[in-house]
A and B are shown apart, each in its own frame.
Chain A
Amino acid sequence: MNNESDYKDIWVFTEIKDHVKVHDCALEILGKGREIADKLGQNLVAVMLALDAEQYISVIEEHGADKIIYMSHPELKHYHERIFTKIVHEFVEEYKPSIFLFPSTEVGNALAARIAYRCKTGLVSDVLNLELSDEYGENLLLTDKPAYGGNIHVKIICPNTRPQMCTITMGTFKKTLIQKATVEIIKKEFNHDVQSKIKIIGTPTRKDKPTSTLSDVKFVLGGGNGLVSKDNFNKLFQLARLTSGQVGGTRRPILDGWMPEHLQIGISGETISSDLYISFGISGAIQHVVGIKDSKTIVAINKDPNAPIFRVADYCIIADAKDILDGLLEYFTVD
């Protein structure tokens, strides 16, 4: 436990994405950080480690920072867990921030968890909202995060240790352009000799990860066991092409080889938040349902009137999914 009153300011880890730009999520968080800093009458501080870091300063300034603490060095071109953790932890020890916010990215989550361990403080992942509250102590950061597959929201505080830390998913807050009249720039010298225990063999190849095909789609067509055969399942792909939709499904069609793995929706797959989701022959086990409940409209087709999917659907169609699929295909096929 540390003395909370020694800690002040709101920090944001401004991650540099693919050594080319400030991560949009970090800029969004600066907007929210600005709001909190104003309420507390404290500074909003951006922390940045990068190669040729100077090029990113103006963008960070435009998004509301009062102060930028940065380090620029070729060794900082890519995230390195030992170097980044050591440097950022040293910054925290020196300046003692009260709140430290990170983008919920591969780097942000990793670094935040390591820093929280070193500071023996709390970290809340993927928060949906944060606000200052006096309900449990003066000006405590009250975070709101989903748990149990989103069925439950929990509110969490970190009352006795500092900094109060959390990671925030992209798109949670909006970017805002606010240029402060004066921005203090603190350049730290890179002076670290940390050896990696991980040896890279040969030359790595560039491999940008495929962005999920499901999470941003407006219309998703879900297929399950009830479609019975690969031929029927192929018709679902056909309908998706005709309607600019995207196919997703349960575990079962993957096991049967009807659909590739990355299209799984649910607890061990993707979570969708489409405008419209239509499920074809899906019974609605919890493992699947948690992945669709953020969709605005849900239409379920199943021949079993007691299928649990109907409990989470807006429109319930008791019918054989393949008959419905044939009818829709006929309508949407342009001749």
Chain B
Amino acid sequence: MVNIFVLIKQVPGTHNLEIDKKNGALIREGIETMINPDDLYALELGLKLKERYGGNTTALTMGPSQAEFALRECLAMGVDEAIHVCDQIFAYSDTLQTTLVLKEVFDKIKNYDLIITGSQTSDSSTGQVPYQLSEALDIPLITDIFSIELKNGFVQCQRNFGHESQNIQVELPIILRVRKHFNKPRPLSLLGIKKAFEKGIKKFDFNSLNCPDSIDGCNKSPTRVVKTEKISLQRKNEIIKGTITEKIQKIIEIIQEHGIEKIWVGGAHE
């Protein structure tokens, strides 16, 4: 039976981000959140593989207590189980500290075959964790696949690697990083939502993982954010009034101001 884990993250889902003037940190209280968009493609692949080959799917996240809602959403999409890695000491973890915690989690789980991730998070946008987890667990990371088959402890897939398209075979366990648009993530079903609230979520914290002292998100993350600045989207917001013809005329002027002219496409081209 294949044991599939999908790593997800809860991210802010709004463009009205505000910064706390006192400490320069992002205000996270009371803002809308969502599952990181790229992770939906990873979830969909996990669910598809289970439908095709059987096995068990688990959504896993590391994050504050409200990240539980993101896990409920994964359960509603159809994953079998959810794991929430949550502890005050994991807060402010950078990618290295996150990887170190995930290593403890998977060392504890032991029985994992496929760890699927999205390509990047929309908040910090580093994309580093899949590579670092591949180092930490010493298992291969496969990226940019366009087809996949599971066979008896192996995966066969087609991937783009450098400037080549390759057919590869690799023994499980592996990490798969799924690119955007790899598939069409399924919507939530009402039945799924109902089921999601009947299922339990497994929790891991510092103690239950027997974490070493080197784990301390706030104090031992090698990188430190020292300043956060909001970039204002300063725009003119000029409303163009008048008839439809006048509005069209104004757009034509704007287009021409940008050096774009009528071009000749008739005649014997193509």
A residues with a Cβ closer than 8 A to B are 18, 78-79, 81, 85, 106-107, 109-110, 113-114, 116-118, 120-126, 135-136, 142, 146-161, 197-202, 204-209, 218-219, 241-245, 261-262, 264, 267-269, 275-276, 278, 286-287, 289-290, 293, 297-299, 301, 310-319, 323-324, 327-328, 331-332, 334
Contacts and interface: CB of A to CB of B under 8 A. Distances in A.
A148 B162 contact: no
Contacts of B164: 78, 204-207
Interface stretch (B53-61, B136-144, B205-213): B136-144
Contacts of A267: 37, 122
A298 B222 CA distance: 40
Contact of A331 (B95, B171, B252): B252
A206 B265 contact: no
B165 to A, nearest CB: 4
A293 B252 CA distance: 22
B251 A201 contact: no
A205 B248 contact: no
Contacts of B95: 113, 116, 123
Contacts of B235: 298, 311-314
B229 A152 contact: yes
Contact of B123 (A126, A147, A275): A147
Nearest to B261: A243
Contact of A81 (B141, B231, B250): B141
Looking at A118, A156, A317, A319, the one whose CB has the most chain B CB atoms below 10 A away is A317
Contacts of A268: 37-38, 180-181
5 contacts: A126-B125, A136-B226, A197-B170, A218-B258, A315-B240
Interface residues of B, number: 80
Contacts of A205: 164-165
4 smallest beta-carbon distances between A and B, as pairs: A122-B222, A122-B223, A327-B248, A113-B131
A150 B233 CA distance: 10
B127 A109 contact: yes
A156 B223 contact: yes
Given A268-B181, A314-B235, A334-B266, A198 B230 contact: no
Interface string B164-205: 111111110000000011000000000000000000000000
Given A204-B165, A312-B235, A299 B124 contact: no
Contacts of A328: 248, 251-252, 255
A78 to B, nearest CB: 6
A197 B97 CA distance: 26
A156 B254 contact: no
Given A148-B12, A242-B263, A120 B222 contact: yes
Contact of A85 (B26, B135, B231, B263): B135
Contacts of B229: 152-155
Contacts, number: 251
A18 B161 CA distance: 11
Contacts of A107: 162
Interface stretch (B13-21, B44-52, B74-82): B13-21
Given A153-B228, A207-B163, A324-B244, A110 B238 contact: no
B217 to A, nearest CB: 13
Given A122-B96, A316-B240, A201 B263 contact: no
A315 B263 contact: no
Given A202-B167, A209-B160, A125 B233 contact: no
B227 A154 contact: yes
Interface string B56-87: 00000000000000000000000000000000
Contacts of A113: 95, 127-128, 131-132, 135
A157 B225 CA distance: 7
B134 interface: yes
Contacts of B244: 319, 323-324, 327
Given A18-B163, A106-B162, A198-B142, A315 B250 contact: yes
A131 B141 CA distance: 33
Given A318-B239, A324-B251, A156 B225 contact: yes
A242 B265 contact: yes
B170 A199 contact: yes
A334 B262 contact: yes
Contacts of A289: 15
Contacts of A319: 244, 247
B221 interface: yes
B94 interface: yes
A276 B125 contact: no
Given A149-B15, A201-B167, A243-B263, 10 more contacts: A109-B128, A122-B222, A147-B123, A198-B169, A243-B262, A264-B181, A268-B37, A297-B258, A317-B250, A334-B263
Given A197-B171, A268-B181, A152 B26 contact: yes
Looking at B12, B231, B235, B247, the one whose CB has the most chain A CB atoms below 10 A away is B235
Contact of B181 (A160, A201, A261, A313): A261
Contacts of B237: 310-311, 313-314, 316
Contacts of B251: 278, 299, 301, 315, 317, 324, 328
